[in-house]
Amino acid sequence: MNSIVAIVGRPNVGKSTLFNRLIKRREAIVDSVSGVTRDRHYGKSEWNGKEFSVIDTGGYIVGSDDIFEGEIRKQVQLAIDEADIILFVVDVEQGITPMDDAVAKILRQVDKPLFIAVNKVDNAMRAADAVEFYNLGLGDYHTISSVNGSGTGDLLDAIAEEIPTPSEDDEVIDELPRFAVVGRPNAGKSSFINALIGEDRNIVTNIAGTTRDSIDTKYNRFGFEFNLVDTAGIRKKSKVKEDLEFYSVMRAVRAIEYCDIAIVMVDATRGFEGQDEKIFWLAEKNRKGVVILVNKWDLVDKETNTMRDFENKIRKTIEPFTDVPIVFISALTKQRIFKAIETAVEVHENRKRKIQTSKLNETMLEIMQQTPPPATKGKFIKIKYCMQLPTHTPQFAFFANLPQYIRDPYRRFVENQLREHYNFNGVPISIYFRQK
């Protein structure tokens, strides 16, 4: 499971610059998918082989220039509750301010790994000035400059030490698959879960954002067994006004990270909006299986092709990852809710699918001989062998004489061929071209 690192501190100390630097190391490599909208305040990072998520709490504060101390206190408190590691950023130019003191006071009671980053230290003079920060009573600190990156390597080394190494045993335990029901507030997530379980164990009101926490429910009916996770609605950033909303966002992020299948709930009366798209890409970026449920379908005025048009519009928005099941349901009238669960179970099976190496080579090499990658600089690219990697999610390696010349369009062609011949509906696939 990924650890969550939360960056806290008062405004204008350089939290966002540090955040960007932490996630850039990996972002450029991981998100080479075109059209992936990225969330400004949440990202993934990797250092010394350890993966973790980074959350910039500053991004969740209202009107960030004239912030009240109270707001920051709340942010810090929430970060402490939700994150595994706290990174407290201060500014050497300003020295210790009353607000830094207030944050330090809260942090002194924390029993979690805590790192102090003294920012804007870009020369020896300033390094000497940083000594003042011992007065915060939080122990040692790291001097960094988030603009030019000096000192961030040592800081990351220290953070990585605190992150547990994923052990083989973690992977082996085949617990029940976790299905997280995610979506913006008031899309009908709790109603859907109640309809499935047949009891009102979640309070359902028509006030957006009633569910504040993610709640786990074991589902065991009709021969299916899994854990259902109901998350708080993910809100548009501009709406994250009260601390509880920020809490919901963190919870939903966490639910997606820890689930196997993300059931993305869309409100049919509002359509597939930017926020829905963000949630979708968050699941894709974490390599989760995805099912899109269009809820409240009973409230939509229908003509002959209404459903087809709605579906096409969604697929257009989520290109290039369009091989995703879309089910139209009504949690209220229970229309197609069983189909929704059946589909989620199928996607979970697809995500575990392993293809025999001999069969894979038989199918794929023939296709690639008929349609080889376009020649570059007069050199012909030959793909000699392929295999599925022994990973949790479907990943494939293709060995070629000149892998560096294979471009994205061909990678997509290969992915489409894999999808055509094997059922990976709803599952992101990773493809690597390597030197034979």
Annotated binding site: 9-16, 56-60, 119-122, 183-190, 230-234, 295-298
- Side-chain half-sphere exposure of 169, counting CA atoms within 13 A: 2
Contact predicate 269/168, CB 8 Å: no
From 270, 240, 336, select the one nearest 42 (Cα to Cα): 240
Outline where 63-129 has alpha helix (H): 69-82, 98-107, 124-129
What DSSP string describes 414-432? HHHHHHHHS--TT---EEE
Closest by CA position to 398, among listed 415, 382, 386, 384: 386
Q: Which secondary structure element, helix H or strand E, spans residue 168, and what is its range?
A: helix 168-172
Cα distance between residue 109 and residue 309, in whole Å: 55
Residues 233, 186 contacting (CB under 8 angstroms) = yes
Task: Walk across the sheet containing 326-328 and list its strands.
Answer: 215-221, 224-230, 178-183, 261-267, 289-295, 326-328
Q: How many other C-beta atoms are found inside a 10 Å radius of the C-beta of residue 288?
A: 25
| H or E element at residue 250 | helix 243-258
- Amino acid identity for residue 233 in this structure: G
Which residues line the annotated binding site for GTP? 9-16, 56-60, 119-122, 183-190, 230-234, 295-298
Side chain identity, residue 34: S
Distance between CA 48 and CA 391 in Å, rounded? 19
User: Would you tell me how many other CB atoms lie within 10 Å of the CB of residue 224?
Assistant: 16
What sign does the CA torsion over 77, 81, 82, 87 have? Answer: positive
CA triple 314-318-322, angle to 5 deg: 90
- Distances, alpha carbon 170 to alpha carbons 73, 175, 260, 305, in Å: 35, 10, 14, 47
